[in-house]
Amino acid sequence: MKKWIFILFALLLFGCEEIPPSGFIQTNGTTDQIPVEVVEVIDGDTIKVKYDGNIEKVRFLLIDTPETNHNTLGKQPFGEDAKARNKELLASGDVSIEFDVGERVDDYGRMLAYIYVDGVSVQETLLEEGLARVAYVFPPNTRYIDEFEDASNIAKTQSLGVWETDNYVTNRGFNASVIEETSYTNELNTVSESDAKCAIKGNINRQGKKIYHVPSGKYYEQTNPEEWFCSEQEAVTAGFKKSGE
């Protein structure tokens, strides 16, 4: 009877906290970095590792990289770059993961963690190099949000990677159409500039005579050029004479 009274007293005094089972790694509230073996690099922010004897998919906390093979978004600009850089970093040293104080698993069954190679944050590196954006900020898993924002601002200030094109990075992800439109516009501008500056046609007739035709010339439209020139002087220097002379 005295024994049970003592046990009851101890429980009231010290609480009823459950003792973790054997082999369980308790990291809540700590910054312990747990060594893991990388099994596969899926993309810029998701990998598979061997953890506690199991193969687990890990989603990088607080960052988002462009997609490489999404069901609806497909392949986004800089997605392959982020994946390649992620793979390169993870192969360069010893890999470890760190949990935050909140949820460790997302709705898709992926572990949520910070990733390190020889103690250096992979997330920060990707952000600083312009291959990721700060995203999915869900308290209390926000331990390194300030550091990540600073790293992202470095890339943003220098217009690196995903920050090269205005409005590619959005609050909801990455807008590939902006880059596609920009590329198309640049292509049109290049063609337009070419047409304006290098529109002089150089033709060699059957007798071997070199003739150049300006856009206002009589035979300009029907002439198939062997060469293009950006100025009449350039054509003359190349040995061509103006049509009609």
181 falls in which pLDDT band (50, 70, 90)? low
49 falls in which pLDDT band (50, 70, 90)? very high
Digit-coded pLDDT (tens) for 13-48: 434 333 333 333 444 667 899 999 999 999 999 999
Predicted pLDDT at 136: 97
Spans of all domains in the chain:
32-165, 198-242
Look at residues 67, 48, 68, 70 and name the one whose alpha carbon lies nearest to residue 58: 48
| For residue 6, pLDDT beyond 60 | no
**67 labelled catalytic:** yes
Q: Which residues of 143-169 are buried (b: 16+ CB within 10 A; e: fewer)?
A: bbeeebeebbeebbeeeebbbebeebb
**59 labelled catalytic:** yes
Q: Single out the catalytic residue among 59, 85, 128, 129.
A: 59
Predicted pLDDT at 219: 80
Q: Single out the catalytic residue among 56, 85, 98, 110.
A: 110
Dist CA 11 CA 29 (whole Å):
24
Predicted pLDDT at 197: 56
Predicted pLDDT at 217: 84
Digit-coded pLDDT (tens) for 75-113: 999 999 999 999 999 999 999 999 999 999 999 999 999
Return the CATH number of the domain spanning residue range 32-165.
2.40.50.90
What is the rounded average pLDDT for all residues in the chain?
A: 84
| For residue 126, pLDDT beyond 50 | yes
**172 labelled catalytic:** no
Q: To which residue do tokens 């104080």 refer?
A: 101
